[in-house]
Structure 1
């Protein structure tokens, strides 16, 4: 066993410490996405700006970070995206759901996406954009409200209370008694039918339909959603989208070894 000549016995080698700091800054860039200033990043990681800047330069040189020449803000670079996508490809639910969502998009010509539960809540990890003249941009990495989106309400319906409690309490604090009662009604309906239709909840003029995906052991592993303009995705068309989306969620769940906790 060799010991770094510049480090005392028992201490962590300097290169290991540097790597850990660099990874910490990279994680901070992800958490402060889509971009952040040097001063805010330094404050976030609790390090001097001069030291953070040195690490950022190394990350930029390696393609893991990039700097906007206009704002001078920093963001994740192409290499970080490639690593992230490689990690996402390890998720069975992403591999299995992708072709189904592609087919659903082709059938409905509406934007379809998959969200998983992340450390900040419902997080979009895969998107099939509508091919129409008007598209609704839903970006990979977007974090959706728990109680203020169709996708989020499905997570709230099937995840354990301990997993959602912090986010739920934070969002519920700004809602009145009627809104909370409406949410409870939505959740009862989702748990009974396995699909949720909503009109203009997250954004005025935008309708959405969401359904859960389960893996073996009836573990919720994701939520699939169809979203579209209220002028198009409404009434009978939204009902059709709900039927097709629910069938898609069932098919993906079956491939994942999961069973729906409601009549299919």
Structure 2
């Protein structure tokens, strides 16, 4: 009688440990399939997605349901991730702290570019600096942890304004644009479109005269903006040529951080 236990077909020559490893690999593949087809999927669609016979996928699903890693909707018979899988996912997401992940990249950028690099996140008062790697050159710009930057008057703030939902920025946007004319608002719209199209923002003397900056967004799962990293320097040394190099390296770092956090820059905005 054939066994209903999930796993590859047993044979006398197949070591038990190898069978268990192969079974774990298959089970992991089915869990990934459930995640990729979330929130729910039919058995036939899941089997086609993972490239396995439906009967084999069904056996694994029964084991995953029994362990709480999958569940079946009795109304539709569709399958989805179970509570245990969600708990594992939440634990993994909790480890993907943007500060922890971004810090080594900022250190590397500072060492390579010899310019001040920092990370900002969205706080209750707006873009807030949470980590700084100060340059060690003759010209040093002091950017302090805890500093709150303008939404429209800083390179970092403009990136937040470009990617955050309007409901989150509305109050600050209204405050900073009050009394400004149509030309100002049109310029903001054009800059937002440029940032969304390129994934970068470069400014010259926007926040302070003689200070140039370039910023890039960081995304977590679901295209959620997790933070913004910025390189800033005095115009006397952070020249357009140096800034172009910094922009390229900054974007590479932002992409690496975003990938590590399971995110992606939205391209349909």
TM-score (norm 1): 0.64
Q: For the structure 1 residues 223 and 240, does the alpha-carbon distance in structure 2 shift closer, same or farther, using more than 3 Å as the test? A: same
Corresponding position of 2:248 = 243
State the alpha-carbon separation in 1 of the partners of residues 180 and 142 from structure 2. Answer: 27
Gaps in structure 2 of 5+ consecutive residues: 1-93
Q: Secondary structure at the match of 2:244?
A: helix
CA contact (8 A) 1:194 1:262 kept: no
CA contact (8 A) 1:109 1:131 kept: yes
Kindly indicate whether residue 177 of structure 2 is the aligned counterpart of residue 175 of structure 1: no
State the alpha-carbon separation in 2 of the partners of residues 243 and 91 from structure 1. Answer: 24
Shift of 1:132: 0.3
Gaps in structure 1 of 5+ consecutive residues: 1-88
Shift of 1:232: 1.3
Corresponding position of 2:98 = 93
Q: Secondary structure at the match of 1:136?
A: coil
Q: Secondary structure at the match of 1:203?
A: coil
CA contact (8 A) 1:124 1:143 kept: yes
CA contact (8 A) 2:96 2:261 kept: no
Q: Secondary structure at the match of 2:232?
A: strand
Aligned pair partner of 1:159 in 133, 151, 164? 164
Show structure 1 runs of 4+ deviating over 4 A: none
Q: For the structure 1 residues 230 and 109, does the alpha-carbon distance in structure 2 shift closer, same or farther, using more than 3 Å as the test? A: same
Corresponding pairs, count: 175
Shift of 1:91: 7.1
Shift of 1:90: 7.6
State the alpha-carbon separation in 2 of the partners of residues 139 and 150 from structure 1. Answer: 16
Aligned pair partner of 2:118 in 101, 113, 135? 113
State the alpha-carbon separation in 2 of the partners of residues 176 and 231 from structure 1. Answer: 32
Corresponding position of 2:130 = 125
Aligned pair partner of 1:199 in 197, 204, 228? 204
State the alpha-carbon separation in 2 of the partners of residues 248 and 193 from structure 1. Answer: 15
Shift of 1:140: 0.1
CA contact (8 A) 2:220 2:258 kept: yes
CA contact (8 A) 1:193 1:262 kept: no
Kindly indicate whether residue 231 of structure 2 is the aligned counterpart of residue 223 of structure 1: no
Shift of 1:117: 0.1
CA contact (8 A) 1:214 1:253 kept: yes
Instruction: Identify which range, 211-220 or 171-180, moves more after superposition.
Output: 171-180
Aligned pair partner of 1:188 in 188, 193, 213? 193
TM-score (norm 2): 0.63
State the alpha-carbon separation in 2 of the partners of residues 157 and 166 from structure 1. Answer: 15
CA contact (8 A) 1:198 1:207 kept: yes
CA contact (8 A) 1:146 1:168 kept: yes
Corresponding position of 1:143 = 148
